[in-house]
Amino acid sequence: MSTTSHPDIPLWIQNRIIGFFNRARNVDMILDGTIRDDPADGPGKTMGRTLAARILRVRNELPRRRFSDLAEIDRIAGVGTGTLQDLVYSFGVSAAEAFRGSMYESGTIYEGNWALEFFRFPLEDQQEFESIARDEKELRQFVLEKLTDLLQERSVGAKAAEAMLTDIRTAYIDQYSNSTPAAAYALALWFYEFDADNWFSWERIQQQTIAYFEHNASTYPWLMDLYLFKGFRNKGIIPSGICPEDLPVVVNWAEQTITLWVSALYD
C-alpha cells in the first residue's frame, strides 16, 4: 500500500475517515451518529460541535477544500489520541464484517437457521493484489490455494475436499462490478435463490447487498467486484444446508482484500 503518516492504521481505514470529512457539508452531517465512542478507552464522550466545526473550517481553508492525508486532521487542535481512537473504531469495520452483521441485525436472515460466513484475505502488496484482481486465471488460482488451506483447517474429508476444488478449477465465472448496481443485484439474487418462495424478502436482501457494495463509496479506490464461481457446492466448509450452487468471491479494491462467502439455510 501507499506510504502514510500513520503506518499503524490501515490505509483503507484512513481513506474512510478522510472521505467522511470531505463529504460532510455541515456540522450535523459529522454528528449524525457515525462517529462512536470507542469503549476500549473507557466511557467518555466522542466528538462535539465545536471540534466538528473546527474540522470543517480547516478543511475549507485547504487549497482544494479537501483533506488528502489523515495527518491534516490529526494535527487540528482538539483532535487528540482519544478522538483518533474513536475514528478508527467507527470507520475500521470492513465491508464484509458490516454486511454480515447487518444481515442478522436487520432481521433479513436469522442466525438460528441461516449460517453466513466469510473468509477475508488482505494482500498488503499492492502490485500482488492488482495482479490477482485484474487476471481471472490468477484469481482462480488464489481461490484454489485459499480454499485448500481452509478445507484443511476445517478437517474436510479428502473426497469432499477434492470435489470442491474440482468445482473451482472447472467453474465458469460470472463477473459483476459495483460501478453499476449489477454486483449488488447479482448477490441479492444469490441469496434470494436460497428460499425463492419467500418473495417478500427480496427488497430487504437487496438493500443489504447494495449497502455492502457501497461501504467504501466515499473513498478512492472504491471499486468492488463480485465473481460467482458457478456450480460450486459446499461440502463441509460449514454444515451443508440449502444453498445455490455458486461461490461468491468479492474483490475489494478499497480494502485490498479478497473475500470468499459461504452460507447455508437450515429450513
Mind listing the pLDDT tens digit for each residue in 112-168? 999 999 999 999 999 999 999 999 999 999 999 999 999 999 999 999 999 999 999
pLDDT in tens, 27-66: 999 999 999 999 887 777 789 999 999 999 999 999 899 9
pLDDT in tens, 78-92: 998 899 999 999 999
Overall number of domains in the chain: 2
The answer to whether position 19 is within a domain reads: yes
Same domain, yes or no: 36 and 113: no
The answer to whether position 64 is within a domain reads: yes
State the average pLDDT over residues 9-25: 95
Q: Which of 44, 70, 91 is the last residue of a domain?
A: 91
Q: Which helix (H) or strand (E) holds 173?
A: strand 173-177
Where does residue 231 fall: left (phi above 0), alpha (psi -120 to 50 degrees), or beta otherwise? left
Q: Which helix (H) or strand (E) holds 229?
A: strand 224-230
Q: In which band, very low, low, confident or very high, does the pLDDT at 197 lie, cut at 50, 70 and 90? A: low
pLDDT at residue 180, rounded to an integer: 80
